[in-house]
Amino acid sequence: MDGIGPMLYEGKAKKIFAASRPDQVVQYFKDDATAFNAEKRGTIIDKGVINNKVSERLFKLLEERGVSTHFLERLSEREMLTRKVTIVPVEVVVRNVVAGSLAKRLGLQVGEAIEPAIVEFYYKNDALGDPLVNDDHLRLMNVATPAVLRELRDLAQRVNVVLKPFFAERKMQLVDFKLEFGVCHNKLILADEISPDTCRLWDMATGESMDKDRFRKDMGKIEEAYQEVLRRVCG
């Protein structure tokens, strides 16, 4: 495509290409799916197209609500033009309902409501398996200052305040989700993607998973679930 330069980085679900402007990059969304620190691999047909469109909708919504993001424009089915940022190597997880690793680690009941929502930090490091860390660990490793961590927590809660009711209006419970932030001109902005790969979404009518848990747990009807999320978010 015109204006797209060499590949700068390839991750598990996306590739990043240079754009015509040096302060911008193109995110290309792949169909590749991984789970359990990439021990499980597979393909979810058209996942890239769906995650690109869902992320576009959610980034635009967040921008309208005053949350700065790296989103600039969706270029094609699988390509999104974004601001170039320096990613903060912290996965910021927000939880409204007990599920996944939280249920396992603390022995809590899956489905229990968490109010107010909690925020967790994971150090983004494949070799270490993205460990759960606290503020002191991140400060010790010079990953983030207390002020940056306060801001990450605050931004994550603001994103939740926007997204939780947005999904509820579309009959989906936003159980939990993972965010990544980047630094651009000395400012923290939301980056990466927000999609059924990075959120747990439960159908409010049936309680069924409509997200990557269907892949993680071999629940079947994965493509159908992703398509349904797209329909409800963008339809």
Residue whose CB is less far from ligand UDP, 19 or 48:
48
* C-alpha to C-alpha distances, 28 to 54, 79, 124, 125, nearest whole angstrom: 14, 5, 20, 22
Q: Min. distance of Cβ 144 from ligand UDP in angstroms?
A: 18
Between 25 and 175, name the residue whose CB sits nearer to ligand UDP: 175
Distance CA 161, CA 24 (A): 28
3-class DSSP state of 143: coil
CB nearer to ligand UDP: pick between 19 and 228:
228
Strands 14-18 and 32-35: unpaired
**Least Å distance between CB 136 and ligand UDP?**
20
CB-nearer residue toward ligand UDP: 209 or 227: 209
Give the E-state strand segments of the chain in sequence order: 7-10, 14-18, 24-29, 32-35, 40-43, 71-74, 79-83, 86-87, 90-97, 113-123, 132-133, 172-184, 187-191, 199-203
Question: Residue of minimal CB distance from ligand UDP?
Answer: 100
Contact yes or no for 82/70 (Cβ under 8 A)? yes
Backbone region of residue 207 per phi and psi (left: phi > 0; alpha: psi in -120 to 50; beta: other values): left
Query: Distance (Å, rounded) from C-alpha 15 to C-alpha 11?
Result: 6
Instruction: Summarize as ranges the residues that interact with ligand UDP (CB under 6 A).
Output: 91, 93, 99-102, 130, 176-178, 198-200, 212
Min dist CB 21 to ligand UDP, Å, is 29
Least distance CB 33 / ligand UDP (angstroms): 11
Compare residues 2 and 36 and give the one whose CB is closer to ligand UDP.
36
- Tell me whether residue 19 or residue 201 sits nearer to ligand UDP (CB atom): 201
Whole-angstrom distance, CA of residue 235 vs CA of residue 231: 4
At its nearest, how many Å lie between ligand UDP and the CB of residue 96? 10
In angstroms, the CA 232 to CA 174 distance is 13
Instruction: Name the residue nearer to ligand UDP (CB basis): 17 or 177.
Output: 177
Smallest distance, Å, CB 48 to ligand UDP? 15
Residue 20, phi-psi category: left (phi > 0), alpha (psi -120 to 50), beta (remainder):
alpha
Q: Least distance in Å: CB of 178 to ligand UDP?
A: 3
